[in-house]
């Protein structure tokens, strides 16, 4: 005789036993190919929030590291790219443009990371910022010529852009599926 147990996810699972059936709502009819398919789909959708969190966490860390570098030592950081800052205003502009803006980006992505409702907005934000940066870098490579430093940064930008795009598409699909499931009687 089968006994119904609640799995950690809340799904009912049947187990062979000689005892009576306790609280088994589906009476054995819910286990089969259709139920297994539904569980597989549910497991796939459980990955989506984790992908969104990973992308938002990665973006938060990257933006924070950039911000700290340029806010704490803009002269040395600029010099690493053979950029000279000839005046206090130039140092301040480097600090603001390359330090404060990424810090603001990091705070936005952090806010989106901690709130599941804001994951979609955060993914849009990351995709927009990284997409614009990647396009600017590719334009620079085409117009100004290839540089080792540009290619070294281009690879992670493309990876983050790809992950944020995939996360965005999956997040939208999951929300649409959830809305259509709620609309069904």
- The domain locations on the chain are 47-183
Does the pLDDT of residue 76 top 80, yes or no? yes
Question: Distance from CA of residue 22 to its chain's centroid?
Answer: 41
Both tokens of 133, joined, read: 């940066």
Does the pLDDT of residue 114 top 90, yes or no? yes
The 10 Å CB-count burial string (b at 16+, else e) for 101-120 is ebbebbebbbebbeeeebbb
pTM for the model stands at: 0.74
Average pLDDT along the chain? 83
**What's the burial of 14, exposed, middle or buried (CB within 10 Å: 0-12/13-18/19+)?**
middle
Q: Where are the alpha helices (DSSP H) in 81-118?
A: 88-95, 101-114
Across 45-63, average pLDDT: 93
Instruction: Give the pLDDT confidence score for residue 74 in this predicted structure.
Output: 95
Instruction: Give the pLDDT confidence score for residue 47 in this predicted structure.
Output: 85
- Of residues 15 and 175, more confidently modeled: 175
Instruction: Give the pLDDT confidence score for residue 100 in this predicted structure.
Output: 97
Instruction: Give the pLDDT confidence score for residue 8 in this predicted structure.
Output: 45
**134, 154 contact by CB (below 8 A):** yes
Residue whose tokens read 């130039």: 90
Give the confidence band of 64 by pLDDT, cuts at 50, 70, 90: very high
């Amino acid at each position: 005789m089968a006994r119904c147990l609640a799995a950690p996810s809340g799904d009912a699972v049947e187990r062979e036993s000689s005892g009576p059936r306790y609280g088994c709502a589906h009476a054995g009819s819910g286990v089969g190919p259709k139920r297994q398919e539904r569980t597989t789909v549910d497991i796939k959708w459980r990955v989506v929030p984790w992908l969104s969190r990973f992308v938002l966490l990665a973006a938060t860390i990257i933006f924070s590291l950039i911000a700290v570098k340029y806010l704490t030592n803009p002269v040395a950081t600029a010099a690493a790219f053979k950029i000279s800052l000839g005046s206090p205003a130039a140092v301040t502009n480097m600090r603001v443009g390359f330090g404060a803006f990424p810090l603001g980006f990091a705070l936005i992505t952090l806010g989106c990371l901690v709130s599941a409702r804001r994951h979609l907005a955060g993914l849009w934000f990351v995709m927009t910022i990284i997409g614009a940066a990647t396009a600017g870098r590719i334009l620079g490579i085409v117009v100004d010529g290839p540089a080792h430093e540009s290619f070294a940064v281009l690879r992670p930008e493309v990876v983050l852009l790809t992950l944020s795009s995939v996360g965005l598409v999956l997040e939208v699909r999951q929300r649409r599926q959830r809305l259509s499931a709620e609309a069904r009687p």
